[in-house]
Structure formats: structure tokens, C-alpha cells
């Protein structure tokens, strides 16, 4: 069951704890596990490992959505959208966001793949900045009714050939061991550095 308590449930005058919600988007797994288009899910898992140092918090399955979630702390929630296609992310993710209490006290950060950044690079972009043609982000904006969420862009590089079919094949191809190592070393460190002001 997807449920979360933020702050206290007593009178409205009580302090409301701010929540940061990191949402990783990708295509259905295990079919598309460790593909470039699922870099957001790869990074979300790496972040969970680093932020949950004692390994005591695991993902739980959402009952009413093709996704998983993990409470790393009272202030930090991870949502792993891994059961539907990335271009339909809004359909899966936004109903979960809407179930969070005190929605005005939630900072949303989408973790996603980014063709325009080379592998090993990470960029945190503010709400309202360009979606750079990412269909998963477009879906989220459409269902949320705004683009009021941060984007943590995980660089995957771009093939030299810009032909759409070549690009499609590229993003659906799997990272090799060397590339996974870069994500687990260079990319994760840059992600943690970028997120420092929001976590």
C-alpha cells in the first residue's frame, strides 16, 4: 500500500515536515533493466544505496500503480516508476504524488536519462526549465498540470548519427560494464553534489 505520513496528524497548527520526493522514471523492468533509457532508475537505486547507509529500507510495491516506493527517512521518499513505459510516466507517477499529504510541502525531483549530456555528467535543473524534448517529462507535465518539479538529468551521451531509429535503438540498448561503473562512481558523486541543497 502506498501511504506516507508527513509531520503530525494532530491539529493544523502543528509543524508540517517538508518532504523531498525523488522519482526515477524508466521503461518496464526486467525487460528494459540497465538500458540507457532507464538511467533514471539505475541512478535512483544508486542513490538509495548511498542515502540508506545501513540498508534497512527496501522498496515496497505500490498496490494501485506499476511502481515501487521507499521511505529512506521521514524527510525523503523514493518512487521507482518501473512498471510502465517511460513516455507514460505521468499516468503512473502523478496519482501517487496526489496522494501525498501536504502537497505544498513536497519538493519533487525527477531522475531521468539525458541524451544531451555525456555519460558521467549530471545536471540538476529547476522547475520551469526546458524539458529538452523528453517524452517522459512531457507526460509528467501534462498529468501534473505544470512543470513545477526539478529534473536530475543523468547523462547517457548521444550517438553520432541523429537518425531517429538510430537514437531509439541507442537509448534502448544496455549499458556495458564500463559504463555501469562510470554511473556508479562519477555520476553518483555528481548527483549527490547536485542534490545537496535539496536533501
Residue among 37, 112, 134, 150 flagged as catalytic: 37
The string of pLDDT tens digits covering residues 176-191 is: 999 999 999 999 999 9
pLDDT (tens digit, 9 = 90+) per residue, 137-193? 999 999 999 999 999 999 999 999 999 999 999 999 999 999 999 999 999 999 999
Question: How far is Cα 99 from Cα 104, in angstroms, rounded to an integer?
Answer: 12
Give residue-wise pLDDT tens across range 91-131: 999 999 999 988 889 999 999 999 999 999 999 999 999 99
Domains in the chain: boundaries:
19-195
Mean per-residue pLDDT, 44-57: 91
Q: What is the CATH number of domain 19-195?
A: 3.40.50.1470
Q: Say which DSSP state 10 is in.
A: S
Residue 112 DSSP symbol: E
- CA trace torsion 124, 125, 126, 132 (10° rounding): -150
- Give the dihedral of Cα atoms 94, 15, 63, 97; nearest 10 deg: 0
57 in catalytic set:
no
CA distances to 23, 107, 124 from 197, in Å? 17, 12, 11
Of 17, 24, 19, nearest in space to 106 by CA: 19
| The model's pTM | 0.91
Amino acid at each position: 500500500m502506498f501511504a506516507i505520513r508527513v509531520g503530525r496528524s494532530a491539529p493544523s497548527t502543528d509543524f508540517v515536515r517538508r518532504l523531498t520526493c525523488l522519482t526515477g522514471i524508466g521503461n518496464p523492468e526486467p525487460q528494459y533493466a540497465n538500458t540507457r533509457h532507464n538511467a533514471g532508475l539505475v541512478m535512483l537505486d544508486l542513490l538509495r544505496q548511498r542515502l540508506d547507509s545501513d540498508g534497512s529500507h527496501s522498496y515496497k510495491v505500490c498496490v494501485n500503480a506499476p511502481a515501487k516506493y521507499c521511505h529512506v527517512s521521514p524527510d525523503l521518499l523514493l518512487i521507482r516508476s518501473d512498471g510502465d513505459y517511460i513516455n507514460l510516466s505521468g499516468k503512473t507517477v502523478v496519482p501517487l504524488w496526489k496522494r501525498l499529504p501536504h502537497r505544498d510541502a513536497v519538493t519533487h525531483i525527477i531522475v531521468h536519462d539525458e541524451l544531451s549530456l555525456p555519460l558521467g555528467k549530471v545536471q540538476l535543473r529547476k522547475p520551469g526549465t526546458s524539458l529538452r524534448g523528453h517524452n517522459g517529462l512531457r507526460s509528467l507535465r501534462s498529468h501534473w498540470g505544470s512543470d513545477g518539479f526539478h529534473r536530475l538529468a543523468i547523462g547517457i551521451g548521444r550517438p553520432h548519427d541523429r537518425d531517429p531509429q538510430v537514437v531509439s535503438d541507442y537509448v534502448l540498448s544496455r549499458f556495458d560494464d564500463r559504463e555501469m561503473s562510470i554511473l556508479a562512481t562519477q555520476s553518483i558523486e555528481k548527483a549527490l553534489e547536485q542534490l545537496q541543497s535539496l536533501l
